[in-house]
Structure 1
Amino acid sequence: MRAPTRKAGIRKLALGTVIAVGAGGAIALSIPPAVAADTTYYVDCSSTATPQGTLTNPWNALSQVNATIFGPGDQVLFKRGTTCTGQFVGQGSGASGSPVTVGAYGTGTARAVINGAGAANAMYLKDLSHWTVKDLRLTNPSATRAERNGIRVETTTTAAKAGIVIDGLEVDNVAGWGDKTGTNAPWFSRSAGIIVLASSTAGPVNGLRIVNNNVHDTGGGGIKISTKPSAYHTNVYIGSNRVISAGGDGIVVHGSDAPLVEKNRADNLGGGAYPFVAGNFAGMWPINSKNPVFQFNEVTRSYPSSFDSTAWDCDGAIVGTCTFQYNYSSNNAGGFHLGCQACTNLGNNNAKEVIRFNVSQDDCRVAQGPSTTAPIEFYNNTFFCSSKPLTLDLPTANTKIYNNIFYAASGTFPSGAGVTYGTNLYYGGITAPTADTTAVKADPKLNYPGGAVEIASVGGYKLTTGSPALNAGTPLSTLGARDFWGATVPKAGGTVNIGADNGSGVSAKTFSSLKEAFNNHGITRDANPQIGGYSLSGRSFSAEALAAKGFTYGPVTSGGVTFDWAQQYIGFPDNVKATGQKITLSGSGTKVALLGSGAYGTQTGTGTLHYTDGTTSTYTLSFADWWTSTPVAGTTVAAITDYHHKKPTTYNNPTTGRDEQDVTLFQGSIPITAGKTVAAITLPNVGGPLANAGLHVFAMKIA
């Protein structure tokens, strides 16, 4: 292989070059460092032209890129819609304000692709500074899994590095390692879509910016800063990334000083093309870092693992304060948060944990690892647990629990001399701890709990006008400056609400569609039955069993009526537990047809049809219990599935969550007054939003 070149083009000597003739007649040149040429190189791996790196004669193989040492201001641009196969290996460094940039050129929306084809990395940047990589697709599939990455940034020398930006990439189908146990367990922490690695003696990176990336189907995890160098990385920002169906951790931050992780989304962790195999993982978490902050993030639908599978985790060797604020999580198999500072061999500094103004929907486990005395401040969070008991397993020393909403059928709370409570709200059947002498025991009047699918749809957890949580909290100097939605929280004086909303109260919601009103998790996949919520015991329909009866995403015909079966993303809310919701419904016909069933026996209620002329009509709707195959009068059987799901008897074994009991989906109808045009429907009010006795509607159509 030929030696790497500095540039493909010729550079002129700088002014002032000295040419001298030595005694032997040889010419000696005194040449200052080359001035940056800001050269742009083009790469089109489909090109048949003589490869010169120009726009008209682009390079056509990664070997040509890898043989070049780049410098400040250089650009390496790959043609959109083309694919280069192999591993990109960067050489040379940019300068502050003048990075080496790797990106794309050409027209159209198709990305330029670098396909690692099973290499260790699709892109490898080792011991480099001031590189920006953007607007590409990196993929690295293989029939076998190993330590493997999409893009790997690594520091191995003692020199400090700086200025690494990874922006707007799609990183997908990386066959990384998914087993955190056994001989090859270290491969797991070194596998991800995007990874930053360091040896313990290497220089840190000042300026790591990982933003706007779409990472999916990546074995081992999504985005990882893994292992701590000789000193903390600094100026670390991870923001606005999507990590979907990664086979492990969503975002891990190791060895960083004051890292900020915000506005990221992680969903379906543990699943995907290269799923998690064994051991444990969590959603987003720091380890061996100083003063980490995680805010405005969301983690949903994580699969089970041996212990973790929580949305958030404050892990070993944290220094200072570990802050989780303004985050949303839902239906993760392990629940909301894990305090695990004493879980590693890195040491336990008992750093303070601040957990405030978060919203948790059916993420009802706050777990604690080995014994710790870490001070924890647990303020103004809103917990809604429709089908799970709430478990708040926090240390019994140095723990403050103030101004939280706990909405669940049951729950357990810590007690001890070191645990202090103040003005928390308890509702739904949950018993307030005796230590909370200022407890509020009333319906918080949340706007429409249970229906969030992402952080943008969490408005159902705002307080409505007249809520007993308004102005009922305890002002504290440590609450921060704002609430979940941005409302001001007073530093001193003034009033504060209970829960994540510090607004003044909102009006009750009118829903634009049945789907918008979904507030219950009634369907789960066979691979993840842990997150079911059709009943308080966590039972649910099986998506696969329903599909076998013809009920899959899209149009579904039942009883001569074609419904929109809206259950595309299993594990998000998929039906309405009727609590008097008013839903816009437009059209004319003879009836409103519905698919649904009762839970805890036959359920009946009275509702209202609203017509465009301002008139109304009342109706009665009944559905038999889903465990019976006998419909009530006026309804028919839509489907009887061969089995359903229950809570797994073994935490990380989904096969133990299958129950062979048949369950039934029914079809009913509501008559429309002749000659009238429907404008809206008010569903019956059959119990509250918890997964207790109630009437469930999965689909609705005017026919």
Structure 2
Amino acid sequence: MHGFRPIAATLATTLMASLAGLAALAPTAGAATTGPTTTYVDCGVGRPDGAGSPDDPLGDLSAVNSRTYAGGDRILLRAGTVCVGTLQPRGNGAPGDPVTIGAYGEGPRPIVQGTGGPATLRLVDQSWWTVQGLHVTNPAPTQALRTGVQVDTTTPDRKYGIVLRDLEVSDVAGWSDKTGANAGWFSASAGIVVLGKPTAGPIEGITIADNQVHDTGGGGIKISVKPADFHRDVLIRANTIRSVGGDGIVVHGSDAPLVEYNLFDDGGGGKYPYVNGNFAGMWPINSRDPVFQYNEVTRQRPSIFDSTAWDCDGAITGSCTYQFNYSHDNGGGFYLGCQNCTSFGNFHATQVLRFNIAQDDCRIRANASGDNTSPLRMYNNTFFCPSKKLDVELPNGPGANTLVANNVFVAGQGALPIGTGVAYRANVYHGGFAAPTGDTSAVTTDPRLAAPGTATGRTDAAGYALLAGSPALGTGVAVPGLGTSDYFGNAVPSDGTGVNRGAYNGPAVAAPPLYPSIAAAYNNVGVGDDANPDVGGFGLSGRSYSGQALAAAGYARGARVSAGGAEFTWHPRAYGLPDNVKAAGQRIALSGHGSRLVVLGAGAYGAQSGTTTVTYTDGTTTTATLTLGDWWSTTAGPSDQVAVRAAYHHKPQTDYRTPASARSEEDVTVRVASLAIDPGRTVASVTLPTGSPIAGPGLHVFDVKVV
């Protein structure tokens, strides 16, 4: 670590320090320092004209901004303090020796709180800077062109070495409307933005990693506007972005950018939500050979057309690759191919979609705006669509070059297109839709996924492995560019021989497991938020319970509720995550003594019944018929009761910009039933009735208790 000299050194002291190779002169306002220094900032007790030492720290950001910094210098803000204003220091670091802005002391991250200006923390035409460990905000009573952390390149020379890591960026009142007179503000508004002028030099080395971004208008992380040449060595890694009013990650003007291990959730939400126009999850524009891998995009709110997890946009050259990603319940579905949607031109980059998993993300628009000539390679993906329609458009017709191979499609309804230039090879097509003609190796039987629908995140997708006897095991075909590993890290044969169909290429796994809890078996999203009502579906119609309507009736999320003589914790998860089990023979661990098994749930498509098996710790079993009335029924049934009645529920939105258009005034209910069990034995597990995990007719179970 570099030392700090609190006062100007005498000539003798300076000579001794120089000979020893130790600390350099302290910085003076407006002048470059002669060696690495550490400037301490405490906006709670420091003085504007302080020395910048631990004992006499600077007291405001203007004092920091008045100094010029060089390689190895550090600017440290005291933990637990709030500095109000704009942080825009001067100077440049050096290769391997950046200027670092960070924190010191114990306590919460120091906050740099903007006052509603264009940016709170800004680097302009600078090189070799690392910013870390801060909490950056920029609140305002109204939204405008506004960012939290902003890096600008405006001059023709190249810049280097910008690292933004371990930051929290929140409460940025950026612009969330991509329409109207101020539509241009949207692309430059977000929590973290790299902004260039078309005549400016690029940045060589941009790392944006391990940051938490939330409640920022316009989006999460954006590299916006291509400079005179491509940015290079761009890495956007392991960032968590939640509840922002626009896109999750946008990469503009970059050569071979790598975007990996990021999470984007609740796009369009937060304190400064989406207003109008379009946004999407993670996507490139005007770039070359971008790669997006190991990312997760979930629960985006609908926009006018987009809101897809992934998008290959205008002016992409070479290829556009999405691999090893997970997505679920996005308002616009899985993928948008939009190379012909912008003013930047269409260079017909090859779209590569491989080894991804999509859970109820079933819309693909790979030929948006009539672009039928950008090659598409879509192979070894798994699409599980229990409540959403399989809604697919692919490049087709003269000049099309589309290959759809080794995928697993499971859906209750929908279709896949056929046409000139579209080739289907060795896919699985299972559920309520027809296999397209031309796939001579088509499989239409159950692919035997281990526990489909149970994933709650990218690293929790083991339910998409293949059970013994799966027709997808080893029956895929060789595809150019197959790669060396699958979604889970299993090896893929170099020549493609014996590859599985779908995103899993490991060996067969054992029979469906004993789920350790009812929550672990959840495979359906039945309750949504009024602000994002398109998530999930209790049936194939896209209808679901309203979390707010249930809360108004006494069933608030996480509340303790009573039904059928049992106590339950209602819906402990966030709305829009799997919250009930669509019964398909799941065996669930359950313990306790009692005379009754109390089941909280409902039937779909009428009252539903099935045989439930209770297994005791001594190995004995009892069986009983579980019957639950239809969730639309508001009266007690012959063997169940109404647990709670909600005054309205969700239907598909008629206007994507208006969530209230999804409100249906018909009452719906959650129901409760009891089954007799042996009170002299200890329960070990319960096996639910058989059925399909697809959200058609059947039983839905929210919780089970022994009383």
Normalised TM-score (structure 2)? 0.94
| 8 Å CA contact 1:577, 1:697 repeated in 2 | yes
Q: Name which of 683, 687, 693 aligns with 1:678.
A: 683
Q: What residue number does 1:601 align with?
A: 606
Taking structure 1 as reference, are residues 99 and 8 closer, same or farther at Cα in structure 2, changes over 3 Å only?
Answer: farther
CA apart distance, 1:700: 2.2
Matches within 5 A, 1:555-574: 555-559=559-563, 560-574=565-579
Distance of 1:89 and 1:154 partners within structure 2: 11
The residue type equivalent to 1:280 in the other structure is N
Q: What residue number does 2:376 align with?
A: 376
Distance of 2:637 and 2:188 partners within structure 1: 57
CA apart distance, 1:632: 2.1
| 8 Å CA contact 2:246, 2:274 repeated in 1 | yes
The residue type equivalent to 2:59 in the other structure is N
Distance of 2:11 and 2:319 partners within structure 1: 54
284-293 or 640-649: bigger deviation: 640-649
Distance of 1:370 and 1:124 partners within structure 2: 40
The residue type equivalent to 2:91 in the other structure is G
Q: What residue number does 1:695 align with?
A: 699
Q: What residue number does 2:202 align with?
A: 204
| 8 Å CA contact 2:275, 2:657 repeated in 1 | no
Q: What residue number does 2:221 align with?
A: 223
279-288 or 52-61: bigger deviation: 52-61
Report the secondary structure of 1:544's partner residue.
helix
Report the secondary structure of 1:121's partner residue.
coil
CA apart distance, 1:618: 1.4
Q: Name which of 438, 445, 448 aligns with 2:448.
A: 445
The residue type equivalent to 1:538 in the other structure is G
How many corresponding residue pairs? 681
Distance of 1:693 and 1:251 partners within structure 2: 39
Q: What residue number does 1:629 align with?
A: 634
The residue type equivalent to 1:429 in the other structure is G
Q: Name which of 232, 235, 246 aligns with 1:234.
A: 232
Distance of 1:436 and 1:493 partners within structure 2: 18
Q: Name which of 424, 429, 445 aligns with 1:421.
A: 424
Matches within 5 A, 1:184-333: 184-333=182-331
Q: Name which of 511, 526, 539 aligns with 2:515.
A: 511
The percentage of counterpart residues that share the same residue type is: 52
Q: Name which of 32, 39, 42 aligns with 2:40.
A: 42
CA apart distance, 1:60: 1.3
363-372 or 240-249: bigger deviation: 363-372
Report the secondary structure of 2:152's partner residue.
strand
603-612 or 306-315: bigger deviation: 603-612
The residue type equivalent to 1:383 in the other structure is F
The residue type equivalent to 2:213 in the other structure is V
| 8 Å CA contact 2:561, 2:570 repeated in 1 | no
Taking structure 1 as reference, are residues 516 and 582 closer, same or farther at Cα in structure 2, changes over 3 Å only?
Answer: same
CA apart distance, 1:595: 1.3
Taking structure 1 as reference, are residues 369 and 491 closer, same or farther at Cα in structure 2, changes over 3 Å only?
Answer: farther
Matches within 5 A, 1:39-188: 39-48=37-46, 51-108=50-107, 110-188=108-186
Matches within 5 A, 1:651-670: 651-670=656-675
CA apart distance, 1:655: 2.1
Distance of 1:291 and 1:67 partners within structure 2: 41
Distance of 2:413 and 2:446 partners within structure 1: 15
CA apart distance, 1:107: 1.8
Taking structure 1 as reference, are residues 73 and 14 closer, same or farther at Cα in structure 2, changes over 3 Å only?
Answer: farther
Distance of 2:661 and 2:32 partners within structure 1: 67
CA apart distance, 1:9: 5.8
Distance of 2:489 and 2:663 partners within structure 1: 43
Taking structure 1 as reference, are residues 16 and 244 closer, same or farther at Cα in structure 2, changes over 3 Å only?
Answer: closer
Distance of 1:254 and 1:11 partners within structure 2: 48
CA apart distance, 1:555: 3.4
Distance of 2:529 and 2:380 partners within structure 1: 33
| 8 Å CA contact 1:192, 1:222 repeated in 2 | yes
Q: Does 1:528 align with 2:528?
A: no
CA apart distance, 1:668: 1.4
Distance of 2:440 and 2:675 partners within structure 1: 49
CA apart distance, 1:533: 1.1
667-676 or 130-139: bigger deviation: 667-676
Distance of 2:46 and 2:524 partners within structure 1: 57
The residue type equivalent to 1:456 in the other structure is T
Distance of 1:16 and 1:519 partners within structure 2: 70
| 8 Å CA contact 2:586, 2:687 repeated in 1 | yes
Q: Deviations over 1:379-418 (max 9, x none)?
A: 1110011112212211011001100001012222232221
CA apart distance, 1:117: 2.9
Alpha-carbon RMSD across the aligned residues, in angstroms, is: 1.9
The residue type equivalent to 1:414 in the other structure is P
Q: Name which of 611, 615, 619 aligns with 2:616.
A: 611
Report the secondary structure of 1:531's partner residue.
coil
CA apart distance, 1:586: 1.8
Report the secondary structure of 1:529's partner residue.
coil
Q: Deviations over 1:428-477 (max 9, x none)?
A: 12200112122111100001111212101111111111100001100223
Taking structure 1 as reference, are residues 620 and 168 closer, same or farther at Cα in structure 2, changes over 3 Å only?
Answer: same
| 8 Å CA contact 2:71, 2:93 repeated in 1 | yes
| 8 Å CA contact 1:518, 1:575 repeated in 2 | yes
| 8 Å CA contact 1:341, 1:349 repeated in 2 | yes
Q: What residue number does 1:25 align with?
A: none
Instruction: Could you tell me which runs of 5 or more consecutive residues in structure 1 were left unpaired when the two chains were aligned.
Output: 1-6, 18-32
CA apart distance, 1:56: 1.1
Distance of 1:273 and 1:465 partners within structure 2: 48
The residue type equivalent to 1:496 in the other structure is V
Q: Does 1:391 align with 2:360?
A: no
CA apart distance, 1:587: 2.0
| 8 Å CA contact 1:629, 1:640 repeated in 2 | yes
Distance of 1:538 and 1:493 partners within structure 2: 38
The residue type equivalent to 1:104 in the other structure is A
CA apart distance, 1:8: 8.2
Distance of 1:411 and 1:14 partners within structure 2: 83
Instruction: Could you tell me which runs of 5 or more consecutive residues in structure 2 were left unpaired when the two chains were aligned.
Output: 16-30
Q: Name which of 325, 329, 334 aligns with 1:336.
A: 334
Taking structure 1 as reference, are residues 555 and 544 closer, same or farther at Cα in structure 2, changes over 3 Å only?
Answer: closer
607-616 or 617-626: bigger deviation: 607-616
Distance of 1:155 and 1:119 partners within structure 2: 19
Report the secondary structure of 1:369's partner residue.
helix
| 8 Å CA contact 1:549, 1:641 repeated in 2 | yes
Distance of 1:585 and 1:385 partners within structure 2: 29
The residue type equivalent to 1:310 in the other structure is T
Report the secondary structure of 1:506's partner residue.
coil
Report the secondary structure of 2:54's partner residue.
coil
CA apart distance, 1:659: 1.2
CA apart distance, 1:593: 1.9
Q: Deviations over 1:508-563 (max 9, x none)?
A: 22211111111111111222222231010111011111010111122322234320
CA apart distance, 1:496: 0.4
CA apart distance, 1:232: 0.1
Report the secondary structure of 2:459's partner residue.
helix
The residue type equivalent to 2:369 in the other structure is G
The residue type equivalent to 1:556 in the other structure is R
Q: Deviations over 1:308-342 (max 9, x none)?
A: 00000000000100000000000000000000000
Distance of 1:436 and 1:80 partners within structure 2: 62
Normalised TM-score (structure 1)? 0.94
Distance of 2:33 and 2:143 partners within structure 1: 44
Q: What residue number does 2:350 align with?
A: 352
Taking structure 1 as reference, are residues 635 and 267 closer, same or farther at Cα in structure 2, changes over 3 Å only?
Answer: same
Report the secondary structure of 1:338's partner residue.
strand
